[in-house]
């Protein structure tokens, strides 16, 4: 079994796999690239073991599969030309519904605040009677 080196930065990790730092960070998010965070926090220093990277590389999807996946994801974001008009109309309709819901919720909050004020006043008036 080969000795595993410890890579202690995004730069070292990226150089080891022959990709950019950003690519390796995306791989961590999307495909579970084996990176450790000694402090346990998401935005602090990172480290990786070369042996774990090699194992991950053997089990990861091929670069062709990754590119195809990215192409499909992009295609989902951009509506086809024939659907743009209906897509736009659907988005506008959905926005209107959400705005109406927001207005109704805002009115509910106003009513609840008014009820709270009324109840507080009633409580303050009745408090001396309870003593």
pLDDT at 76 over 80: no
Q: What is the rounded distance in angstroms from the CA atom of residue 113 to the CA atom of residue 70? A: 49
What pLDDT score does 47 carry?
92
Confidence label for 41 from pLDDT (cuts 50, 70 and 90) = low
What pLDDT score does 35 carry?
92
Query: Going by C-beta distance under 8 Å and a sequence separation of 6 or more, which residues neighbour residue 46?
Result: 8, 9, 10, 13, 35, 36, 37
What pLDDT score does 54 carry?
87
What pLDDT score does 73 carry?
59
The string of pLDDT tens digits covering residues 49-69 is 999 888 888 876 665 566 666
Q: What is the DSSP letter of 32?
A: -
Helix axis angle, 50-59 to 10-17, nearest 10°: 50
The string of pLDDT tens digits covering residues 81-111 is 555 666 677 778 888 888 889 999 998 999 9
The string of pLDDT tens digits covering residues 19-40 is 999 999 988 888 888 898 887 6
DSSP string, 77-90: HS--GGGHHHHHHH
The closest of 58, 44, 50 to 17, measured between CA atoms, is: 50
Confidence label for 72 from pLDDT (cuts 50, 70 and 90) = low
- Please give the mean pLDDT across all residues of the chain: 81
What pLDDT score does 121 carry?
94
Q: What are the structure tokens assigned to 55, written together?
A: 């194992």
Taking CA 68 as the corner, what is the angle to CA 57 and CA 28, rounded to the nearest 5 degrees? 40
């Amino acid at each position: 079994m080969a000795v595993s080196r410890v890579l202690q930065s995004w730069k070292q990790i990226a150089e080891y796999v022959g990709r950019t730092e950003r690519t390796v960070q995306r791989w961590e998010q999307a495909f579970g690239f084996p990176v450790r965070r000694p402090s346990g926090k998401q935005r602090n220093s990172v480290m990786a073991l070369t042996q774990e990277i090699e194992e991950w590389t053997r089990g990861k999807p091929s670069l062709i599969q990754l590119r195809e996946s990215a192409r499909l994801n992009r295609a989902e974001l951009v509506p086809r030309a024939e659907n743009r008009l209906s897509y736009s109309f659907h988005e506008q309709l959905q926005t209107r519904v959400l705005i109406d819901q927001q207005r109704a919720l805002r009115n509910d909050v106003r009513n609840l605040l008014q009820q709270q004020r009324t109840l507080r006043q009633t409580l303050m008036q009745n408090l001396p009677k309870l003593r």
